[in-house]
């Protein structure tokens, strides 16, 4: 069961990250794709469904550290994450996701 959750979480993370990268590379010339990483994050241990942890900035970055992101930037990040989750849900077979209309 744990291996299934890790595999599904990786697929979910990849779909979310890919969408964010596609949008960000068009908006920001200096943005780098840091990809998807796996680690036993405390907040995700014991999850009984696919789960991801999203970093949208770094305190070690002097520009990002100065001020919180503007609401429109946070909203954009949230919409891209939701788009990735929807893409993941559509990729599942009907038997896996139930009768939900994603």
pLDDT tens, per residue, the chain with 102 residues: 556 778 888 888 888 888 777 777 777 777 778 888 887 777 777 777 888 888 877 888 888 788 777 777 777 888 888 888 888 888 886 556 555 544
| Residue 94 confidence (pLDDT) | 59
Token representation of residue 30? 């200096």
Of 3, 5, 2, which is closest to residue 96 (Cα–Cα)?
5
As a whole number of angstroms, the distance between CA 18 and CA 31 comes to: 13
Q: In whole angstroms, how far apart are CA 9 and each of 38, 94, 95, 97?
A: 9, 18, 18, 15
| Residue 38 confidence (pLDDT) | 82
- What DSSP string describes 8-32? HHHHHHHHHHHHHHHHHHHH-TT--
* Domain range list for the chain: 2-97
| Residue 48 confidence (pLDDT) | 79
């Amino acid at each position: 069961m744990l291996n299934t959750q890790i595999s599904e979480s990786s697929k979910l993370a990849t779909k979310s990250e890919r969408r964010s990268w596609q949008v960000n590379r068009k908006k920001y010339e200096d943005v780098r794709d840091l990809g998807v990483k796996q680690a036993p994050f405390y907040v995700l241990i014991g999850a009984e469904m696919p789960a991801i942890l999203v970093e949208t900035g770094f305190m070690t970055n002097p520009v990002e550290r100065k001020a919180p992101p503007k609401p429109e930037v946070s909203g954009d990040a949230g919409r891209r994450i939701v788009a990735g989750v929807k893409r993941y849900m559509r990729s599942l077979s009907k038997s896996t996701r139930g009768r939900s209309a994603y």
